[in-house]
């Protein structure tokens, strides 16, 4: 086999290379200083510059529809947008990491190194068209993440969360890999572009291929917390340091869904009615389980974890729509748009939680927000916007996300899924209203941990602004995404 690496390959992969090099800088500096931690502000600035240049290179070379390294990585609109989304969501999480008591401290350089490598894994994951490369991306992302969770200064539950996530995550990776082996054995290829046209027929005619695809899908369902593969999410979300939770709930979920979208776009659902039915029920169950369980939570992070499961259900509706649609650009862009909105509001909500945490062992229950509106009117207003946006009230980003998602579903005749979606938004109102009730209508002494101006505070304001502004003027962004995915 003749392997050549040309200039195009390097240019296309330059975002990845640059990001990896940047991830080494803080660690190298620390080593050169005799294992003494440098100023975290410098570390975070380096990391953000790294993310910024990666994003710039992605914009420059990313959306050209070219493949690199002998058809292993595809740089198309989906890669570009989901990678950019991952970078934006991660940047927010990094800012939180810099200021949260559970993550700042002695090992900050190592944490940033791991975070940047996790982002590197994400970009590989979304760019990969070879299922084995997808696996490499998935593992690079996940392994870094397990460590990031375990590195917390928090005493006990973060270790438990890391182990739980590691064991179940490895299990899911194994299932994924097992599925890939069946796909390879039955079709002779693991490259998504190879069975782009033939997957629908292969699923129908070849039972082993169907078997493989089902396992690949289960692997993804685990990563994005689709019920009944969601059981890890609440524990891990609660146990992880808040910035890492935000990182997981936004960036990791967004790219996993993007890769999921790539696999489902080969249209195995068109070939197998049974698989199509099962996926629809998974979506319904996920929405319902997430929302109903969230009602019963007192812990704010756990509540957000279940809410994130519910959002996975909504997004799965979009994924299914894209999987059966003949013109999937519309449904795919509705998924991307929803992921964008979801990431912004989730990031904002976790940023508020992060600001309230006083120490690494803080447990924030919903009732701990009592009286926050009195002391922090602006912050409470922002959290209100995040909650209403998650519940899907206009004129927020969350509303338009749902609007596009359900429009796509109704267009493909999946009215009953859209019906479940809207019924579930009503159920979700129960628990999204609770923090608002507690903040505004109950007396209490909730306050931020430290009243001086924080980068995280600015992040919260930016998120709230984006939710309203992009919500009101969502047309141009949606058109842009749809054009590049078409």
Q: What DSSP string runs through 442-459?
A: S------S--S--HHHHH
The stretch among 101-109, 222-230, 256-264, 415-423 that binds another protein (CB under 8 A) is 415-423
Choose, by CB under 8 A, the member of 189, 411, 449, 468 that binds another protein. 411
Is residue 482 near another protein by the rule CB under 8 A? yes
Choose, by CB under 8 A, the member of 41, 59, 363, 422 that binds another protein. 422
Strand 73-75 to 66-68 pairing: antiparallel
CB 46 within 8 A of CB 22: yes
Is residue 429 near another protein by the rule CB under 8 A? yes
- Show the site string, 366-395: x = touches another protein by CB under 8 A, - = not: ----------------------x--x-xxx
With respect to another protein, which residue has the nearer C-beta, 98 or 337?
A: 337
Cα–Cα distance, 35 to 46 (Å, whole number): 18
Is residue 458 near another protein by the rule CB under 8 A? no
Choose, by CB under 8 A, the member of 49, 207, 430, 458 that binds another protein. 430
Instruction: Give least dist CB 321 to another protein, A.
Output: 13
Q: Work out the number of other CB atoms within 10 angstroms of the CB of residue 327.
A: 11
Choose, by CB under 8 A, the member of 49, 426, 458, 469 that binds another protein. 426
What DSSP designation does 66 have?
E
Cα–Cα distance, 81 to 333 (Å, whole number): 10
Choose, by CB under 8 A, the member of 163, 419, 455, 462 that binds another protein. 419
With respect to another protein, which residue has the nearer C-beta, 196 or 393?
A: 393
3-class SS of residue 191: strand
Cα–Cα distance, 215 to 128 (Å, whole number): 18
Instruction: Give least dist CB 283 to another protein, A.
Output: 16
3-class SS of residue 365: strand
With respect to another protein, which residue has the nearer C-beta, 99 or 482?
A: 482
Residues in the interface with another protein (CB under 8 A) total 29
The stretch among 5-13, 105-113, 270-278, 405-413 that binds another protein (CB under 8 A) is 405-413
CB 204 within 8 A of CB 272: yes
What DSSP designation does 250 have?
I
**Cβ burial, residue 41 (10 Å; 0-12/13-18/19+):** exposed
Sequence-ordered list of residues with C-beta below 8 angstroms from that of 347, at least 6 positions apart, any chain: 89, 92, 93, 246, 250, 459, 463
Is residue 410 near another protein by the rule CB under 8 A? yes
Instruction: Give least dist CB 276 to another protein, A.
Output: 21
The stretch among 136-144, 163-171, 301-309, 419-427 that binds another protein (CB under 8 A) is 419-427
Instruction: Give least dist CB 462 to another protein, A.
Output: 19
**Partner residues linked to 130 by β-bridges:** 191
The stretch among 178-186, 196-204, 219-227, 470-478 that binds another protein (CB under 8 A) is 470-478
Q: Work out the number of other CB atoms within 10 angstroms of the CB of residue 178.
A: 16
Cα–Cα distance, 79 to 153 (Å, whole number): 35
Choose, by CB under 8 A, the member of 6, 52, 228, 475 that binds another protein. 475
Is residue 105 near another protein by the rule CB under 8 A? no
Helix (H) or strand (E) holding 135: helix 131-150
Choose, by CB under 8 A, the member of 157, 163, 407, 462 that binds another protein. 407
**Cβ burial, residue 8 (10 Å; 0-12/13-18/19+):** middle
Is residue 245 near another protein by the rule CB under 8 A? no
Instruction: Give least dist CB 473 to another protein, A.
Output: 8
Cα–Cα distance, 93 to 96 (Å, whole number): 5
Residue numbers of the site for another protein (CB under 8 A)?
388, 391, 393-395, 399, 403, 406-407, 410-411, 415, 418-419, 422-423, 425-426, 429-430, 433, 437, 440-441, 474-475, 478-479, 482
């Amino acid at each position: 086999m003749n392997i050549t690496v040309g200039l195009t390959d390097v240019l296309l992969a330059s975002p990845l290379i640059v990001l990896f090099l940047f991830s080494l800088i803080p660690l190298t500096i620390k080593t050169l200083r005799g294992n003494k931690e440098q100023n975290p502000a410098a570390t975070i600035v380096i990391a953000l510059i790294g993310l910024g240049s990666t994003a710039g290179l992605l914009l420059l070379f990313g959306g050209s529809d070219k493949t690199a390294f002998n058809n292993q990585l595809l740089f198309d609109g989906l890669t570009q947008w989901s990678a950019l989304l991952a970078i934006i969501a991660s940047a927010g999480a990094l800012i939180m990491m810099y200021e949260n008591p559970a993550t700042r401290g002695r090992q900050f350089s190592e944490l940033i190194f791991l975070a940047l490598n996790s982002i590197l894994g994400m970009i590989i994951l979304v760019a990969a068209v070879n299922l084995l490369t997808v696996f490499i991306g998935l593992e690079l992302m996940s392994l870094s993440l397990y460590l990031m969770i375990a590195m917390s200064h928090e005493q006990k539950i973060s270790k438990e969360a890391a182990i739980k996530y590691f064991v179940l995550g490895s299990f899911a990776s194994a299932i994924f890999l097992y599925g890939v082996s069946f796909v390879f054995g039955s079709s002779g290829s693991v490259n998504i572009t190879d069975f782009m046209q033939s997957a629908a027929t292969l699923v129908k005619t070849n039972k082993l291929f169907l078997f493989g695809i089902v396992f690949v899908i289960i692997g993804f369902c685990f990563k994005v917390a689709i019920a009944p593969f969601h059981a890890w999410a609440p524990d891990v979300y609660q146990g992880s340091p808040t910035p890492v939770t935000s990182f997981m709930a936004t960036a990791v979920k967004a790219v996993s869904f993007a890769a999921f979208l790539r696999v489902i776009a080969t249209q195995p659902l068109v070939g197998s009615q049974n698989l199509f039915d099962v996926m629809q029920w998974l979506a319904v169950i996920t929405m319902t389980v997430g929302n109903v369980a969230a009602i019963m939570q007192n812990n704010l992070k756990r509540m957000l974890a279940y809410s994130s499961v519910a959002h996975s259900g909504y997004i799965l509706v979009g994924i299914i729509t894209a999987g059966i649609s003949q013109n999937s650009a519309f449904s795919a862009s509705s998924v991307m748009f929803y992921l964008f909105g979801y990431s912004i509001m989730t990031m904002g909500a976790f940023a508020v939680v992060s600001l309230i945490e006083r120490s690494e062992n803080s447990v924030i229950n919903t009732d701990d927000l009592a009286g926050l509106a009195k002391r922090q009117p602006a912050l409470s207003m922002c959290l209100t916007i995040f909650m209403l946006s998650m519940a899907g009230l206009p004129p927020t980003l969350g509303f338009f996300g749902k609007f596009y998602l359900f429009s796509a579903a109704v267009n493909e005749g999946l009215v009953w899924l859209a019906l479940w979606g809207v019924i579930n938004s009503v159920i979700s109102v129960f628990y999204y209203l609770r923090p608002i009730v507690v903040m505004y209508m109950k007396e209490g002494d909730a306050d931020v941990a430290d009243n001086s101006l924080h980068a995280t505070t600015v992040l919260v304001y930016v998120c709230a602004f984006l939710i309203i502004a992009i919500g009101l003027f969502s047309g141009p962004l949606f058109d842009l995404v749809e054009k590049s995915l078409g």
